[in-house]
Chains A and B, each alone.
Chain A
Amino acid sequence: MRIPILKLGRYLLISVQVELDDQTALQFQEDLLNKIHQEGSLGVVIDLTSVDMIDSFIAKVIGDVVEMSSLMGAKVVLTGIQPAVAITLIDMGVSLQEVQTALDLEQGLERLQQELGG
């Protein structure tokens, strides 16, 4: 299973709509980095509205892909993290400290625009 990555100008948009198994998560990591490279993207919004569970493995994959993207020069904003997911992550002691977040896709894009100046 592959997560579709959409291009919007210099940005990439991803809405995770599938149950994240390990393989899908790792495949996504690779696909996203390739797409950033291919398109010369400056910013990425990953929308997690439909994700109802993030365990420590998925959290690590997400944290890593944010860091990897940043190494390549693309800013990542995570959006739409569900209340139950946020509570569970903090219960677990998982903190995505370096990670930029926004309430929803719209605000995520605004955030990128502010940071990247247009």
Chain B
Amino acid sequence: MSNHSCIEIANEWGIVSARQAGRELSKEIGFGSVDQARITTAISELARNIYLYTEIGKIDLEEISDNHKNGKVRGIKVVASDKGPGIENLRDVMVDGFTTSGGLGAGLPGVKRLMDEFDIESIPGEGTTITTIKWLR
């Protein structure tokens, strides 16, 4: 299982590359068109956060598998990491409509709803890592 790609997000073109790579990999894994759109949108939101709030960061995409009770399940893991300023108010950023950029404030809570698993770790001054997974059903 070595289906892995890493996209650097240094400018807004990185956002487009990341979501294209995400669409390709999710298609390859076998996700349907709705889940492909969910995964691509989630990646786009994560990449945009990196672009908006940090100098540089990356999106790692990886095919994963896990043993569930109904057998082996495949999925996609998306990890967005940066060495930016970090998020001081983790609770606030997960609230719908909270924004510091003038956007819709749908970003992170939206990503959480689009994906199956969502984990955020952030240390102010050091950076942020967001790990999300979508399982193939």
CB closest residue in chain A, given B111: A92
Does the CB pair B12–A56 fall under 8 Å? no
Docked CA distance A85–B36 (Å):
10
A83 adjacent to chain B (CB < 8 Å): yes
Main secondary structure, interface of A, reads helix
Does the CB pair B12–A84 fall under 8 Å? no
CB closest residue in chain A, given B36: A84
Does the CB pair A53–B114 fall under 8 Å? no
Does the CB pair A92–B34 fall under 8 Å? no
A39 adjacent to chain B (CB < 8 Å): no
The distance from the CB of B89 to the nearest CB of chain A, in whole angstroms, is 19
The distance from the CB of B132 to the nearest CB of chain A, in whole angstroms, is 13
Main secondary structure, interface of B, reads helix
| Chain A residues near B19 (CB-CB < 8 A) | 53
A56 and B103 in contact (CB under 8 A), knowing A21-B15, A92-B110?
yes
Does the CB pair B37–A87 fall under 8 Å? yes
B83 adjacent to chain A (CB < 8 Å): no
B136 adjacent to chain A (CB < 8 Å): no
* Contact-size category for B: 20 to 34
Contacting A53 at CB < 8 Å: which of B40, B48, B113?
A: B40
Does the CB pair A56–B106 fall under 8 Å? yes
Docked CA distance A14–B30 (Å):
32
| Chain A residues near B103 (CB-CB < 8 A) | 56-57, 60
Contacting B41 at CB < 8 Å: which of A21, A23, A54?
A: A54
A30 adjacent to chain B (CB < 8 Å): no
Docked CA distance A88–B34 (Å):
7
Q: Which of A82-118 contact B (CB under 8 A)?
A: 82-85, 87-88, 91-94
A60 and B104 in contact (CB under 8 A), knowing A19-B16, A94-B110?
yes
Does the CB pair A85–B37 fall under 8 Å? yes
Does the CB pair A91–B113 fall under 8 Å? yes
Does the CB pair A91–B15 fall under 8 Å? no
CB closest residue in chain B, given A23: B12
Does the CB pair B48–A91 fall under 8 Å? no
A interface list, Cβ under 8 A from B: 19, 21-23, 52-57, 59-60, 82-85, 87-88, 91-94
B interface list, Cβ under 8 A from A: 12-13, 15-16, 19-20, 23, 33-34, 36-38, 40-41, 44-45, 48, 96, 103-104, 106-107, 109-110, 113-114
Give me 22 A-to-B residue pairs in the complex whose CB atoms sit less than 8 angstroms apart, sorted by A's number.
A19-B16, A19-B20, A21-B16, A52-B23, A52-B33, A52-B36, A52-B37, A53-B19, A53-B37, A53-B41, A53-B44, A54-B41, A56-B106, A56-B107, A56-B110, A57-B103, A59-B106, A84-B37, A87-B37, A87-B38, A91-B114, A93-B110
